[in-house]
Amino acid sequence: MSDAIQITGLRKTYAAQGNAPAKEALKGVDLTIRSGSIFGLLGPNGAGKSTLINILAGLVNKTSGQVTIWGFDQDRNPRQSRAAIGVMPQELNMDPFFSPRASLEVQAGLYGVPKAERWTDELLALVGLTDQANAYARNLSGGMKRRLLLAKALVHRPQILVLDEPTAGVDINLREMLWANVRKLNEQGMTIILTTHYLEEAEQMCDEIAIINHGEVVIRQNTRDLLSRTDGKTLVLDTGGPATLPPLPEGVRQERRPDGRLAITYPPSRLRADQILDALRGAGIPILDVATEQPDLEDVFVELTRA
């Protein structure tokens, strides 16, 4: 299987309700997600990320378009396409009376996993809930509930795991546990799709990224190419005090940082760092220290979602 997910012309309009007008949340999304990848779906609040994920999960009905999961068309083969995917939702929705163990058993039952093929104890260990296996869900902390949601998404050993804002508002331990598990599952061959607000996290975790804004995919690229899109590098200089700069080539911006250092941003496609440093030295400006900064995903994201 080369493509884990194929989405063509996907549209979703939520119907008007009371005073709220109808809302077109997805406006014709085309997206292919390669199997074996860790794919990041990014976008500002309200962009349509959860709508897309909930359609993949079968929790929201699409208005039109085609969704193929692991080669199965969602409309023609709903059972097979559902079996291929496990979703850890953004919302904490759980039955307060089930223990983690019971909750996993019920979920396995819903997916028709035979008793002999269940891996409840392994899953509890995987997410660090072995000690709480028999506690009531209502007595679990928020972090433990999230761990349980991850385990629930995995009961039927799906080929594709989808995580919707898994680390929003969670503590550092849980975040590390989540990413360690995601990496491990991916190494074992699972395709991972995640949304996150933390762009640094996406930059570190994802091979490929799509940015969605106002219900449309504005870009989809591998992470490295996406980062090289922004034609700007920054030299941060310690000039030992205020300095009057010589005229610099067109396209070069300068800014004095609060710490007194001078930041010079230039387009690496047209200029080299040594040309800028030579110009400064030529004007008699001392350069006591130099650091360089690369653009990060935040810069690209801001540029693409400004509208």
Q: Which residues contact Mg ion by CB under 5 A?
A: 49-50
Beta sheet of 85-88, edge-to-edge order? 85-88, 160-164, 191-195, 38-42, 208-213, 216-222
Least CB distance from residue 25 to Mg ion, whole Å? 10
- Residue 134 contact, options ligand ADP, Mg ion, none, Cβ 5-8 Å cut-off depending on partner type: none
- Nearer to ligand ADP by Cβ, of 49 and 146: the residue is 49
Least CB distance from residue 63 to ligand ADP, whole Å? 12
- Nearer to ligand ADP by Cβ, of 62 and 101: the residue is 62
**Whole-number Cα distances in Å, 39 to 46, 223, 227, 245:** 19, 9, 15, 44
- Residues 164 and 50: their CA atoms lie apart, in Å, by 7
- Nearer to Mg ion by Cβ, of 59 and 290: the residue is 59
- Residue 47 contact, options Mg ion, ligand ADP, none, Cβ 5-8 Å cut-off depending on partner type: ligand ADP
Least CB distance from residue 89 to ligand ADP, whole Å? 11
- Residues 140 and 146: their CA atoms lie apart, in Å, by 10
Coil vs helix vs strand at 174: helix
- Nearer to ligand ADP by Cβ, of 45 and 244: the residue is 45
86 forms bridges with which residues in the sheet?
161
- Residues 40 and 42: their CA atoms lie apart, in Å, by 6
Least CB distance from residue 106 to Mg ion, whole Å? 26
- Residue 25 contact, options ligand ADP, Mg ion, none, Cβ 5-8 Å cut-off depending on partner type: ligand ADP
Contact in structure between 23 and 210 (CB atoms under 8 Å): no
Least CB distance from residue 31 to Mg ion, whole Å? 16
- Residues 69 and 79: their CA atoms lie apart, in Å, by 11
- Residues 80 and 111: their CA atoms lie apart, in Å, by 11
Residues within the interface to ligand ADP (CB under 6 A) = 14, 23, 25, 43, 45-51
Least CB distance from residue 41 to ligand ADP, whole Å? 8
- Nearer to ligand ADP by Cβ, of 196 and 223: the residue is 196
Looking at the chain, list the stretches that DSSP marks H as alpha helix, in order from N- to C-terminal side.
49-56, 78-83, 100-110, 120-126, 142-154, 172-187, 199-205, 223-227, 273-282, 297-304
Contact in structure between 7 and 31 (CB atoms under 8 Å): yes
- Nearer to Mg ion by Cβ, of 49 and 101: the residue is 49
Least CB distance from residue 160 to ligand ADP, whole Å? 18
- Nearer to ligand ADP by Cβ, of 207 and 216: the residue is 216
- Residue 152 contact, options ligand ADP, Mg ion, none, Cβ 5-8 Å cut-off depending on partner type: none
Distance of CA 283 to the CA centre of its chain: 46
Q: Shortest CA distance to 195 belongs to which of 55, 47, 7, 42?
A: 42
- Residue 11 contact, options Mg ion, ligand ADP, none, Cβ 5-8 Å cut-off depending on partner type: none
